[in-house]
């Protein structure tokens, strides 16, 4: 038999098993989450600071929204008509906008309208994105990537 470990639990797989081993995590069991492509999205109704929103998403094993494609941008626009925090911020007015993972915002999807100085976090709405003081309170959009693992990803060979 082959063995694999998930969450520190070891399971045995006997070669006689007829069905392939795979695991899929999607949004179906997550209340108030919507799935699109390879992500699940949750729009909060609680008003928090940007950091409070980031911490809240983290507590749900997710991150503030990172918009990576035009398709995702269009989907997110269809979800809301009010401003929500997304995972875009910067340390000073002179620095580039960075996503939570440290990658820079590229200008081909959308631009951030600068509302004033000392506004280093980003709110998103259907009409675009705007800078805002990170201490202001707003709802947010959390994003969780879906997971699909095949046996080879688990170190199990057929």
Q: In this predicted model, what pLDDT tens digit does every residue of 20-62 receive, in sequence order?
A: 444 445 677 677 899 999 999 999 999 999 999 999 999 999 9
Give the domain ranges of the chain: 26-147
Question: Architecture of 26-147 per CATH?
Answer: Roll (3.10)
pTM of the predicted model as reported, rounded to 2 decimal places: 0.76
pLDDT at 112: 94
Strand order in the sheet with 121-125: 98-99, 84-89, 121-125, 128-132, 112-113
Q: What is the pLDDT of residues 62-115, one digit of tens each?
A: 999 999 999 999 999 998 889 999 999 999 989 999 999 999 998 789 999 987
Nearest Cα residue to 133 out of 118, 113, 114, 152: 118
Query: Confidence class of residue 14 from pLDDT cuts 50, 70 and 90?
Result: very low
């Amino acid at each position: 038999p082959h063995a694999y470990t998930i969450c520190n639990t070891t399971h045995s797989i006997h070669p006689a098993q007829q069905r392939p081993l795979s695991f899929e995590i999607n949004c179906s069991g997550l209340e108030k989450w919507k799935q699109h492509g390879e992500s699940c999205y949750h729009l909060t109704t609680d008003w928090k600071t940007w950091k409070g929103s980031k911490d809240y998403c983290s507590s749900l094993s997710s991150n503030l929204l990172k918009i990576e494609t035009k398709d995702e941008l269009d989907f997110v626009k269809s979800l809301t008509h009010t401003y929500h925090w997304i995972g875009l911020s910067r340390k000073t007015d002179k620095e580039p906008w960075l996503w939570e993972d440290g990658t820079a915002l590229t200008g081909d999807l959308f631009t951030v309208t600068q509302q004033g100085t000392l506004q280093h976090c980003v709110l998103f709405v259907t009409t675009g994105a705007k800078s805002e003081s990170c201490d202001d309170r707003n709802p947010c959009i959390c994003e969780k990537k879906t997971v699909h693992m095949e046996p080879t990803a688990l170190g199990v060979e057929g």
